[in-house]
Every structure is written in structure tokens, then in C-alpha cells.
Structure 1
């Protein structure tokens, strides 16, 4: 059995990650406390998180705002229960870069399926910023029209915290917000299994051997799982036969 161990080194052996319901409650608290615009940086590919953001927005009396890319990703799931700009409390905002791309490529069909009533513009948000939660990415912060709305907003980072430290998109997004006096607070849980969940998996499968993959701490497998299955460490780049 090959098993990932991303949580090893991040959690104690008997520690669990927060549940998605806990994330929703913390998001709800942030939205209720914020007097103005709320920005939540989360991946549209994390569909569970988008649902949590939408649920928290709805419970706080706010409306969810997303860009065209997020709308297309969520539409591709094929599930009508997934939030999209076709929902009465979800809006589509077309950042300048996306609007230019649509015009250049004549891809107007991408926004044709979204009812015009669901489109949102900077002047709409400016009238009542406390009414909205934005599913944030850099297409928004690079849009000069939207950037004028950022001051006074509350911003949440709802992805792996490491992306804020590795010079990746998280660090760049934080630098976009900093001139407006807005910092990112982290509200997130991992999509990886915690050690107790991994133990339950190994106990259920009872493999003949167990080999770690996708972990910084393969040496910890023996102490965590050795009583359930023989642990065999495999070196990177070394072929082996099953």
C-alpha cells in the first residue's frame, strides 16, 4: 500500500485538522464582524470551500461575487447545487484582464449564459460594500477599478498557509493588498488526511506492506503505523517491483 503523509510534521500524532464545518463558522464570524467588503482568497477548484464561503455569505446576509474563471470551473462540475452566477445571491464580476481576453478572442459565449442581472460592476459594490463577499484572486487586485474598493476591506486566506511564504501567488496577492492597509488572515483546513485518519485507513486495509509517498517525514511512518503493518521505505527514483 502506498500512502501519503502530508500531515506528518504539521500535526501531532493524535491531532486532527478542523472540519469544513468549523471553517464555515469562522468565515461566518469574519463576515458578520466586518462592516465593509470581505475578500476570501480560495481556489475555485476547492468546491467544498466555495460552498462553505457561499453558505457563510448567505447566513451573514451577503452576496457572493466571483470572476469568469471561477464561474467556468464551478459550472464544469455539472452540479446545479454548486454556487454559480445563476444563483440569485451570486454575482459575476469581470476583471479588466478577463474582459480584454473575452473581447480579443470573441469569446462572448462564455458570459452569454449568465443572466445580465447577475453581472456586478465596481460602482455597484461601492454603493454598499458590506453586502458582498468576493472570491478573490489576482485578477481582482490587478483591476484598477476594483483596487479602489479594497481599502477598509477584510481579507481572508483560505488555502494552504505555505503559499504565503514560498514566493508563490499567495505572497504576490498579499503584496497587492498591503498598500491598501489590508492584511490576510488565515481561515483554512487541510484537504489531506490527519494522522488519526491515516491510522484508521491502514487498520481497515491491513496491507502486507506500507510505503510512504508525498511526505517530508517518511521516517515517522514506523512509529505511527508500524503496529498495524510492516513499513518499507522506498527511495526516490529507485524502481521496485510489486
Structure 2
């Protein structure tokens, strides 16, 4: 059974069909990319998976469980985390505080225990701190733990957003244009970083990306969208040689 499955998932806004009958399967442990020109429906697909939108038609399944009409926080609790095309950090908080906040998703002690500093709450808070520090160490951010998030270089802010997502202990990580705005060296480092966290955290990764060198270098399979419709699916080599994909990106000579 696939970890993630979209079955004829369609998202319609009035008369506009943003995604049309999306059918994808993501297996455990894979790195899979969704690519396509601007306006192809890629982020809309992410929003359906994470509960921002409920498909107008069709369904999204995660480990066999239907996500339709489920709230984003409940989907996150199941084990799906995401990053955003536009970085959404708590910019005035420290690097460590950003990761600590994400840990609260897994807290079991209630407000009463926390306010009174009961032993179970204190134990959880200690474990949460230790886990957050271990995430920062694994992602190369430990030396920046006390830095304000907005003071980090752009590439490290991107890495922090991924670290914060990892703090929720996901099974499936969705990366929305993680290389956006990066220079070639940063993109190269990111490629290796994604491979590292996939192996280290036993992740399945689905990403949207325009940076073709990163996509072709890291993806095991690729789905290509155009105007909300899937026009191709295959390995990087198959996608590079697909005439419909070439036409979508480069146009067709008269």
C-alpha cells in the first residue's frame, strides 16, 4: 500500500479547475518531485494533502486513511509536515525557540500540568529541549541556536524551516520549492542535505521544485503538471526525454 495516494483529486474554485483528477502514489522511503510551469497546480496539490483545501472531487489517502475534511493540525499529528515557498519562521525568536515551538505538537501533558510545573510536564519539557537540540545538531544549526532567526543567512533560514518541520517527527515531509532564492552552491548543499535527512530520519519526501538540477539529481520519480493536469510521470531520464514535458517548458516551434 502506498504511504500517500491521491485518487482523482480535483480542486475547483468557482469555474477554475486548479488541479484536475490528480493521481499520485508515493511509497515509503521515496523522494518524489512534482514539477511544472508556474500556475500548474503544484502548491494547490500540497494544500489538498495538508488539509488547507478539501478536494472538490476525489480523495487523498495517507497510510490508507482518508484525509478529506481533516484539519491541518490533525494531519500533522498523523505524520505529515511541510515547508513553504515563502519562508514562515518566527523571525524574532531564536533558532532554538523556533524548533521548540514545533515540538509542542507532540506534548501529552495538559495546560494544568504545565502551569503547575508538575513532574510529568517537567519531564516532557526536558525531553523536548533535548530533542530540539539534537535536531539542530543533525541539521548543522546547533552553533546558531541562540541566534535570532531573521539574522541567519538565507540558506540557513531555509534549513531552519526544514528543522522545524522535522521537530514534529513526520513520516512524510513536503518541501515547497526548498531551493527558491538559493545560489548554486547553496542548492548543491541542499541536495545533499535532503538525502541526509531522508536517511537519518527515515523519511519519505515529496517536493515541488523549479531547480531542475536538484530535481533530476535527487528524485527517484517525477510527476509533471500543466494547467492542473498530470501530463507525465516517470524516472528523471524518462521525464527529460518526454516530448510533452519539453513542449510544456520550452514551447513548440511553429
Please report the TM-score for the alignment, with normalisation by the length of structure 1.
0.31
Whichever structure has more strand as a proportion of its residues is: 2
* Structure of higher CA gyration radius: 1
Say which structure, 1 or 2, has more relative contact order (CA 8 Å, 6+ apart).
1
